[in-house]
């Protein structure tokens, strides 16, 4: 009898451990397999059109504006991105979480000849802030590179000082907020339905994003 109870306990512990691992894995970002595309049109520093997927918003980064309005280093960032994509021998995309944003644009990491384009833009000082709709595979490394660019006053940072909206505060574990004003202090562009900080009451237009601007 005692041996039987012991076996039941062992089985229960094993089952609980298994499900705990599943929960942890589901919370961590896992970038998908890379796939090759061709450039159709380069729009600006963080947007382009590719074969297979159409209009694509580069994951995680936000470069200065260069189309509807022009911000400092916007044109420079756009030229850098477009030159890289135009001259590339190989362009690959990689999904990491949600594949589309609320506007129907593809969300992906962009690899140009084996190098992550988002990373190269940050190193040049052409990224003014991050947007965060979840947890991404490369964000820790990119956050560190952004801090280095700001410290060295490279590119955009030669004329601007870091603020709460340009440094990434999303490393905070805080996921409970009273309202959108508080949430945006940590997640400036709001959060998706899959994010732990998402609350239905903050998603007034019911589009799956809470507190987006």
- Annotated catalytic sites, by residue? 57, 65, 105
In whole angstroms, what is the distance from residue 139 CA to residue 68 CA? 28
Q: Record the tokens describing residue 130, joined without a space.
A: 């991050």
In whole angstroms, what is the distance from residue 157 CA to residue 89 CA? 30
At 41, phi and psi to the nearest 5? -160, 135
In whole angstroms, what is the distance from residue 35 CA to residue 206 CA? 32
Stretch (H or E) spanning 107: strand 106-112
At 4, phi and psi to the nearest 5? -65, -45
In whole angstroms, what is the distance from residue 73 CA to residue 81 CA? 12
């Amino acid at each position: 009898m005692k041996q039987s109870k012991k076996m039941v306990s062992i089985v229960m512990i094993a089952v609980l451990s298994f499900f705990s691992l599943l929960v942890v894995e589901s919370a961590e970002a896992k970038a998908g397999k890379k796939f090759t595309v061709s450039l159709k049109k380069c729009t600006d520093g963080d947007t382009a059109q590719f074969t297979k997927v159409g209009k694509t918003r580069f994951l995680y980064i936000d470069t200065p504006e260069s189309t509807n309005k022009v911000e400092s280093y916007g044109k420079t960032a756009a030229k850098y991105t477009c030159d890289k994509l135009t001259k590339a021998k190989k362009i690959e995309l990689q999904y990491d979480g949600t594949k589309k944003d609320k506007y129907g644009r593809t969300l992906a990491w962009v690899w140009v000849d084996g190098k992550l384009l988002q990373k190269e833009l940050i190193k040049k000082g052409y990224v003014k802030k991050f947007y965060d709709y979840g947890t991404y595979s490369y964000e820790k490394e990119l956050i560190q590179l952004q801090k280095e660019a700001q410290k060295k006053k490279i590119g955009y940072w030669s004329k601007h000082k870091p603020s709460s909206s340009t440094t990434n505060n999303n490393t905070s574990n805080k996921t409970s907020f009273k309202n959108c004003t508080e949430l945006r202090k940590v997640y400036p562009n709001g959060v998706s339905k899959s994010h732990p900080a998402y609350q239905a009451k903050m998603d007034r237009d019911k589009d799956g994003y809470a507190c987006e601007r």
